[in-house]
């Protein structure tokens, strides 16, 4: 019974991540005057000092000789920091326009040797290069061989 409940929880988490990613894509892509207050007229915006954005981390790239390697990139919408099977890998669900796992969603499986410390959280940007693999629930995902920002 516990395995069935865990499987249902994982499916619900993936669906919730998909809904969050779809919402993020809708918000990011709508244009025109949609009722949001532009930064230039926000209260206190003129008083805030101009800050330089942090330099972007380089994107992941496919190592030479890795057949079928793909690069994905997007905002993290879900992090599985503790892997239930105990092999030490981490899983990230990205809001990714390529949508390897589903529409606008890509799951990335990061092996222990590549696991970042500390793990990036929800909202952070992640780039991964790797091969297509089938996850434990039958989903298509990226098996990371390289990570970037």
pLDDT in tens, 37-68: 444 444 554 454 555 555 556 788 888 888 89
Q: So what's the pLDDT on residue 45?
A: 47
Domains of the chain: 2-148 (2.40.50.140)
Q: Would you place residue 83 in the very low, low, confident or very high pLDDT band (cuts 50, 70, 90)?
A: confident
Q: Could you count the other beta carbons within 10 Å of the beta carbon of residue 61?
A: 12
| 71 pLDDT more than 90 | yes
Confidence grade of residue 3 (pLDDT, cut at 50, 70, 90): low
- 10 pLDDT band (50/70/90 cuts)? confident
Q: Is the pLDDT of residue 125 over 80?
A: yes
Mean pLDDT, the chain, whole residue set: 76
Confidence of residue 107 (pLDDT cuts 50, 70, 90): very high
């Amino acid at each position: 019974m516990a395995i069935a409940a865990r499987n249902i929880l994982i499916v619900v988490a993936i669906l919730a991540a998909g809904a969050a990613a779809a919402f993020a894509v809708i918000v990011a892509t709508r244009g025109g005057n949609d009722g949001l207050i532009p930064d230039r007229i926000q209260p206190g915006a003129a008083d805030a000092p101009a800050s330089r954005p942090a330099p972007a981390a380089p994107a992941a790239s496919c190592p030479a000789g890795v057949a079928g390697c793909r690069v994905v990139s997007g905002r993290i919408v879900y992090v599985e920091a503790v892997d239930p099977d105990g092999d030490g890998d981490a899983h990230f669900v990205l809001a990714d326009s390529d949508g390897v796992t589903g529409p606008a969603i890509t799951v990335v499986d990061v092996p222990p040797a590549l696991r970042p410390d500390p793990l990036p959280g929800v909202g952070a940007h992640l780039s991964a290069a790797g091969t297509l693999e089938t996850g434990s629930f039958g989903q298509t995902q990226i098996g990371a061989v390289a990570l970037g920002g």
